[in-house]
Structure 1
Amino acid sequence: MNKTELVNSVREKANLSLKNFEEALKAVLSTITQTLAKGDKIQLLGFGAFETKERGARKGRNPQNGAEIKISAKRVVVFKPSNALKSRVK
């Protein structure tokens, strides 16, 4: 499902206009992005949690020629699904 399909599906279920829902979705995604950029965690009960974690520097290999490369440390976004979501997906 892409963003357009998601917008249309949720919009129909919530009985909202396309313009209103697109603005609301942009606001939600913007808030999530800003919160994660600050290093804070977002917890949605019954769904899961988004947070950032530090990934340390490590060595890797170039798959084309096998040469060793250095992969720098970075902060990554992780999602941990709730038990309720896990059980519904099973």
Structure 2
Amino acid sequence: MPVAGTLTRADLAESLHREVGLSRADAARLVEQILTHMCEALSKGENVKISGFGSFILRDKGERVGRNPKTGVEVPIAPRRVLTFRASQMMRDRIVAGS
């Protein structure tokens, strides 16, 4: 796993290959299946909670008025659904301990 930078699907699959002993192909397939399952749940409007890691939460934002910072002109912003991530307390504690 990289010390700094971005963790990728390939990194996750490689970690499964090394630590669990799955073949590289099976590890990559498992990572894809998990991510696909999470995406499908979110697209159906379900939140995704991974204990000890965090929650992916869908939130509906109402219509509001925004302002173009360059011109100052007010512009309506359409209602939309946004995805937020909230880290679990265990994850927050690990992040603070690691810094």
Q: Is the TM value for this pair above 0.5?
A: yes
Identity of aligned residues (%): 29
Matches within 5 A, 1:1-20: 1=6, 2-20=8-26
Question: Which secondary structure state, in structure 1, belongs to the residue aligned with residue 17 of structure 2?
Answer: helix
**Cα distance in structure 1, aligned partners of 2:78 and 2:15:** 40
More contact order relative to length (CA 8 Å, sep ≥ 6): 1
Matches within 5 A, 1:60-71: 60-71=66-77
Matches within 5 A, 1:1-90: 1=6, 2-90=8-96
**Cα distance in structure 2, aligned partners of 1:46 and 1:18:** 26
Q: 1:33, CA displacement in angstroms?
A: 0.7
Name the Cα RMSD after superposition.
Answer: 1.7
Q: Size of the alignment, in residue pairs?
A: 90
Letter in 2 for 1:19: A
Structure 1 moving runs of 4+ over 6 Å: none
